[in-house]
Each structure stands twice: as C-alpha cells, then as structure tokens.
A and B are shown apart, each in its own frame.
Chain A
C-alpha cells in the first residue's frame, strides 16, 4: 500500500520534471562525507572543470556553491540541472577543533563563525531543491541523527532522494550497514575521489528524475 502511494508520488514528480527543463540537484550530508569531492567529480566529468575546494579540515565548504547548466547524457537521454554543493550539516561547532589542524586561533574562530552560518544556509536551501543526493561517509556509522534529520526533512518536503555511500575505496567502508540503515532507499556505493561506480550514480539520477 505504502509502495503504491510512493510510486504514485514518484510518477507525479516525474511528470513535473518532464516538463521542467532545468532542475536543482542538491548535495547534502554531514561534514567531510565528500560532497565537494563528488561535486568536483560531476563537474569534471561533464564540464571539464572543478567547482569546489576540498580539504581534510571539516567545514571547508561554508557557503552554498552553484554550478549552472550541467548536462549529463545517458542512453540517448539527457538531463540538465544546476548543481548545488552545500556546507555539511552539523549540530555542534567548536573553533578549538579547527586548532587541532594547526589553524591559528583567529582563523579557527572565523572558520567556526562561517561554518555556523553555512549550516543555517544549507537548511534554508532545502526548500529550493528538486532532487537531493545525501552523501554519507561509508566508513562512518550511518545511524547519526544528522543523517536521519536530513532524510526526514526531504521526505517531509516530498523531495526525491538518492543516498550515496561515498569512500567505498577505503577498507573500513561498510556499504551493507548503510543499506540496512535506509532499507526503503536505493543506496549507491561510490568513490568520488577514485571515480568509482559513477556510471551507476548517473543511471540512478536518471531513474529518480525521469
């Protein structure tokens, strides 16, 4: 019964997108899950250029970044979208954590201030998204409240979701654990850094949108 209702809602969305030329694809997730690495991989694949800076220090992306008019092609079909890379969602930010990465106190405080604003902005932008990829770090416990809150908000707003388990190239990655945490969704395991399984990701995007 629930599946029938879900498929019906999906069809309605698909019809809306069929008429809409360009849609907004948001990349959401906790900090350091690889959203910007994936954003860069997508833009390199289809535009030949990067869009975001990446760093091992959390909260490198502190404002919304947009790359417009990305056209991807698959099986004779094409999709046009604006890609939106968002700051990682967090429930706590302590400037002293940045100092552990050798940032001076002043810069660490500045980064923390900007990071808090980034989280607020990322959540505000949820309402504007047409489709969202939730990027999770496959080496981390998927049952974090940030993941659950993001997905809960997307479901409440009826925004189609793709769950992407990133960093599958790492030995600690556990794709099965992510799949069992979110059994009602297709989970696509990728390595944005190594470009692994990107074809399946693009195929899944066509499935969600069309």
Chain B
C-alpha cells in the first residue's frame, strides 16, 4: 500500500465557504489520502471539521488525525505582527501547514512543537 499525500494550495479553498472547504478536505481524506494543506482553517472551521467527521464515522471511516503547524509570533515585534495580520486579512491565513489524515491510515500525528512526526499503521499489509 502506498501512502499518498495530496497537496491542497490555499487558492483551491479560498473561494469556498466553510461547509464546502470541510467537504472538500474530508472527501480527500475519505479516499485514504493525507491532506497537506497550505495555510490553516479558522478555529471555528476546525471545530466544524471535527463535528462533520463525527457525523460521518462509519465502519470504513473511523475519523481523522489533524495537525496544524503555524509560525510562532511571540518573538515578532509589533510591526511584524501588524504586517502579518494585515497580510492574513488581505490574502487569507496562508501561513503554516495543515495535515489531515484518515485515522485508519495515520495512527498519530505528533507535534513537538515545531516538528511533525506522522505515525502510520503497518502499510506493508494493506
């Protein structure tokens, strides 16, 4: 079995509303692919993603593993923070990476804190 990482550029989701974004991402994940998305969802979208995932759990779909890496802003000065906020406001939240994998394939995504480790189930057997 091959583990497929599907890249989703921010431009693919920026014109979509919350429901459409979530459905698009979940469709990819339900096809047993790992989403590698540019940027991040809003907190409200992340919680909506969890709710939708719960509604769709079935014999073949056990849920998701989710992880977001976002550059820390605690070391930025005020000007850089304002610049980042302004850019996010104009262009959307493109900074960082979001990883979403199907729980049947991805056992755990460990973030600690600027490093991501992706643990999969034994893929050889698939």
The reply to whether B103 and A152 form a contact with Cβ atoms under 8 Å apart is no
Q: Check: A69 CB closer than 8 A to any chain B CB.
A: no
CB within 8 Å of B: which of A38-97? Answer: 89-94
Contacts of B111 in A (CB 8 A): 141, 143-145
In the complex, residue of chain B having the shortest beta-carbon distance to the beta carbon of A184: B74
Contacts of B62 in A (CB 8 A): 92-94
The reply to whether A92 and B112 form a contact with Cβ atoms under 8 Å apart is no
Q: Is the interface of B mostly helix, strand, loop or mixed?
A: mixed
Contacts of B109 in A (CB 8 A): 145
The reply to whether B113 and A181 form a contact with Cβ atoms under 8 Å apart is yes
The reply to whether A91 and B113 form a contact with Cβ atoms under 8 Å apart is no
Q: A141-B110, A143-B113, A145-B109 known; A91 and B53 CB under 8 Å? A: yes
Taken residue by residue from 137 to 179, chain A's Cβ proximity to chain B (1 for < 8 Å, 0 otherwise) reads as 0000101110011001101100000000000000000000000
Contacts of A119 in B (CB 8 A): 50-51, 54
The reply to whether A116 and B43 form a contact with Cβ atoms under 8 Å apart is no
Contacts of B81 in A (CB 8 A): 2
Please list the residues of chain A having a beta carbon within 8 angstroms of any beta carbon in chain B.
1-2, 89-94, 112, 116-117, 119-120, 123-124, 126, 141, 143-145, 148-149, 152-153, 155-156, 181, 183
